[in-house]
Amino acid sequence: MTQIEQDKNAPDTVMSDYNFAYLDEQTKRMIRRAILKSLAIPGYQVPFASREMPMPYGWGTGGVQVSAAVLTPDDTLKVIDQGADDTTNAVSIRRFFEKTAGVAVTEATAEASIIQTRHRIPEAELREDQVLVYQVPIPEPLRFLEPSEVETRKMHELEEYGLMHVKLYEDIAQHGAIATAYAYPVKVEGRYVMDPSPIPKFDNPKLEMAAIQLFGAGREQRIYALPPHTQVVSLDFEDYPFEASKADHPCGLCGAEDSYLDELIVDDEGGRLFMCSDTDYCAARQAVGHRGSDASPTLEGVA
């Protein structure tokens, strides 16, 4: 039984060589086909043969595969999570592409050609020559109304979205408002109801933009897309129109009134600080002299 005594794999099983951006070219081709199809049918969820990635499902494997498939050596990559470049998973994904693709990286939204994001759309307006890649946990907007994939695919096929409208109506009947604050469903070009990924509904109006938007769901094996300037309408009712909302404060650091804010608990008494979730936006404003009420160099100003 035990004829092999030496430990033949111990030293040299570490992979030393990756293809550009980790994925092999065959896989990239497969993903690019799915991306092209998704751009041709805006809002439609295209199945693709998602691969296991060296980070867990749920950490952005869909977005990483899409980014890997569209990345070229000349690209400049920005990665954000919760709007920030310095959150741990954004750091980890940015490093992954630095290591496997050797591309330039940036924190400046305007300098990036590809931006991978989780849960936010940058505040600065994006341009035609930019691509925004979303990490998507559950691509199916109808999933929490109907757990079966077989059923929801049929519902999209037949454009049968009554269930969603009933849900929104029941929200209003029960709470007086539509009780969805993020991953707020949208209708794309009057056809497919789409999940914009868990961005706050504050970001929904930005979904109509000049940049290409690609959505990757790794575990659920789906890719969908919004080509530039696609019509994207947040679902609502005439008498209960959609409302993009944010915390009713200016940013404590840069004073911005138009940006989405994080709320931080800053002392034992439960004191709060509101600051831009988009760290690049906030830093850029501070760099040109904007100051919020909590922006004193020491922390004493923090209420």
Partner 1 sequence: MYVAVKGGERAIDNAHAWLAEERRGDARVRELSVAQIREQMTLAVNRVMAEGSLYDPDLAALAIKQARGDLIEAVFLIRAYRTTLPRFGASRPMDTAAMACDRRVSATFKDAPGGQVLGPTFDYTHRLLDFKLAADGEVPFAPELADAEPSKDTPHIMEFLDREGLMQRDTDGRTPPRDLTREPLELPATRDLRLQALTRGDEGFVLGMAYSTQRGYARNHAFVAELRIGKVAVEMDIPELGFAVEIGEVELTECETVNQFAGSKTEPPQFTRGYGLVFGMSERKAISMALVDRALRWEELGEDNLGAPAQDAEFVLYHADNIQATGFLEHIKLPHYVDFQSELELIRKLRREATADRGAHRAAAE
Kindly list the catalytic residues.
Answer: 43, 251, 254, 276, 282
Q: Report the C-alpha gap between 79 and 303 in whole angstroms.
A: 31
* Total of chain residues touching partner 1, rule CB under 8 A: 70
Q: Select from 38, 50, 130, 286 the one that contacts partner 1 (CB under 8 A).
A: 50
Q: Is 58 exposed, middle or buried (0-12, 13-18, 19+ CB in 10 A)?
A: exposed
Instruction: State the nearest-atom distance from the C-beta of 83 to partner 1, in Å.
Output: 6
205 is an interface residue for partner 1 by CB under 8 A = no
Instruction: State the nearest-atom distance from the C-beta of 30 to partner 1, in Å.
Output: 9
Buried b (16+ CB within 10 A) or exposed e, 135-152: bbbebbbbeeeeeeeeeb
Q: Select from 31, 39, 48, 140 the one that contacts partner 1 (CB under 8 A).
A: 48
Amino acid 135 reads Q
86 is an interface residue for partner 1 by CB under 8 A = yes
Q: Considering only the stretches 77-85, 101-109, 162-170, 188-196, report the one whose residues sit in contact with partner 1 under the rule CB under 8 A.
A: 77-85
Residues 242 to 301 in contact with partner 1, rule: CB under 8 A: 245-247, 260-264, 266, 273, 275, 277, 299
Q: Of 229 and 237, which has the nearer Cβ to partner 1?
A: 237
96 is an interface residue for partner 1 by CB under 8 A = no
Q: Report the C-alpha gap between 150 and 109 in whole angstroms.
A: 39
Q: Report the C-alpha gap between 74 and 119 in whole angstroms.
A: 26
DSSP strand pairing (46-47 vs 76-81): unpaired
Q: Hey, what are 57's tokens?
A: 């499902």
Q: Is 178 left (phi over 0), alpha (psi -120 to 50) or beta?
A: beta
DSSP strand pairing (186-188 vs 232-234): antiparallel
Shortest CA distance to 45 belongs to which of 163, 164, 154?
154
176 is an interface residue for partner 1 by CB under 8 A = yes
Instruction: State the nearest-atom distance from the C-beta of 213 to partner 1, in Å.
Output: 17
Q: Select from 51, 143, 165, 191 the one that contacts partner 1 (CB under 8 A).
A: 51
157 is an interface residue for partner 1 by CB under 8 A = no
Q: Which residue is listed with tokens 């999933």?
A: 143
Q: Of 5 and 129, which has the nearer Cβ to partner 1?
A: 5
Binding site for partner 1 (CB under 8 A): 2, 4-10, 13, 15, 24, 47-54, 56-59, 61, 81-84, 86-92, 95, 119-120, 137, 148-150, 175-177, 179, 181-183, 198-202, 219, 221, 245-247, 260-264, 266, 273, 275, 277, 299, 302
